[in-house]
């Protein structure tokens, strides 16, 4: 069966697909079934959910009923903000695992940095990793200072930091730091929830390559070596977003897209969330 994209090696030796599928906001079982069947058939193998999305059970059911062997799938979930802390993380992780119908998760992420539970949550993550309940542990929305703080006490550093990245939020300094620290970069909202799709520069590049603007934006992630997880509930778009391995952006195209940064966030600023959790 065909699969899309490259594999990325994490610092613990585990490999994960670079090109995945996000399921945020898919909360209708029929919609989930249609989307996941289409995604599996198109070659997506990395699926990104979270306790916050309230769809782990729905995703678990569809994947469980699919004909794909478990080892071909890479499943990520995230501990919700209200579930942080040592005991709550361990307890709710078990619930997530049961909902997903799994005995081991591929990647568990802290959803947002929390000032109050900062080290306790991570201690629980290290325990789950040590006990091989998860093949990898990581964080989301961590800034450089959060990772420097984590370093002061962590036994195992995150394998992945999942952050908002798209042509309007290129995160150059954070990406450089993560590269230096050997933490894989994963982009959420890789097309800025559609906000970059009418950009004139991207429209122009898309015309030159006879591709759509979504395909150009996603190809930009491929060529940056970033893991990325576009979401769509629409079968045609699920296929469109995967059809990006038959063209290449030139160095000039890449530089033009890099130049679109305007520090525009579709989601909250992690530094504003941090003191509130």
Ligand X SMILES: NC(=O)c1ccc[n+]([C@@H]2O[C@H](COP(=O)([O-])OP(=O)(O)OC[C@H]3O[C@@H](n4cnc5c(N)ncnc54)[C@H](OP(=O)(O)O)[C@@H]3O)[C@@H](O)[C@H]2O)c1
Say which of 44, 53, 129, 142 is annotated catalytic.
53
140 forms part of the interface with ligand X (CB under 6 A): yes
Residue sitting closest to ligand X (CB): 22
167 binds ligand X (CB under 6 A): no
Q: Which residues are CB-neighbours of 194 under 8 A, at least 6 positions away?
A: none
Among 114, 141, 161, 170, binds ligand X (CB under 6 A): 141
Q: Which of 98-102's residues contact partners 24+ apart within 8 Å by CB, and which partners?
A: 99/56, 99/57, 99/60, 100/49, 100/56, 100/57, 100/59, 100/60, 100/63, 100/75, 101/60, 101/61, 101/63, 101/64, 102/60, 102/70, 102/75
Residue 86 a catalytic site member: no
- Give the residue, chosen from 55, 83, 96, 162, that forms a contact with ligand X under the rule CB under 6 A: 162
The residue from 9, 104, 234, 250 that contacts ligand X (CB under 6 A) is 234
Query: By CB under 6 A, what part of segment 189-228 binds ligand X?
Result: 189-194, 197, 214
Shortest approach of ligand X to residue 266 CB, angstroms?
Answer: 6
3-state secondary structure of 27: coil
Question: Which of 52, 144 has the CB closer to ligand X?
Answer: 52
Cβ atoms of 21 and 50 within 8 Å: the answer is no
**Contacts (Cβ under 8 Å, ≥6 apart) of 64:** 101
Active site residues: 53
Q: Which residues bind ligand X (CB under 6 A)?
A: 22-24, 48, 111, 140-141, 162, 188-194, 197, 214, 229-234, 237, 240-241, 267
């Amino acid at each position: 069966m065909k699969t899309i994209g490259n594999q990325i090696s994490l610092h613990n030796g585990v490999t994960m697909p670079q090109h995945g599928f996000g399921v945020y906001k898919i909360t209708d079982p029929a919609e989930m079934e249609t989307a996941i069947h289409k995604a599996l058939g198109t070659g997506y193998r990395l699926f990104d959910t979270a306790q916050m999305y309230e769809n782990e059970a729905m995703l678990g059911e569809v994947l469980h009923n699919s004909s794909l062997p478990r080892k071909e799938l890479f499943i990520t979930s995230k501990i919700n903000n209200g579930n942080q802390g040592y005991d709550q993380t361990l307890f709710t992780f078990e619930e997530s695992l049961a909902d997903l119908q799994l005995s081991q998760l591929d990647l568990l992420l802290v959803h947002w940095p929390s000032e109050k539970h900062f080290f306790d949550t991570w201690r629980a993550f290290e325990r789950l990793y040590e006990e091989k309940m998860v093949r990898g542990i990581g964080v989301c929305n961590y800034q450089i200072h959060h990772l420097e703080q984590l370093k002061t006490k962590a036994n195992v550093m995150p394998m992945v930091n999942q952050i908002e990245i798209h042509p309007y939020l290129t995160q150059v300094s954070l990406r450089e730091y993560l590269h230096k620290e050997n933490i894989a970069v994963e982009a959420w909202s890789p097309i800025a929830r559609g906000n970059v799709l009418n950009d004139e520069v991207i429209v122009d590049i898309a015309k030159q390559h006879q591709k759509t603007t979504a395909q150009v934006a996603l190809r930009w992630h491929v060529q940056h070596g970033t893991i990325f997880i576009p979401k769509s509930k629409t079968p045609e778009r699920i296929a469109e977003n995967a059809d990006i391995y038959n063209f290449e952006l030139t160095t000039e195209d890449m530089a033009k897209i890099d130049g679109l940064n305007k520090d525009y966030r579709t989601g909250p600023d992690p530094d504003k969330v941090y003191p509130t959790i």
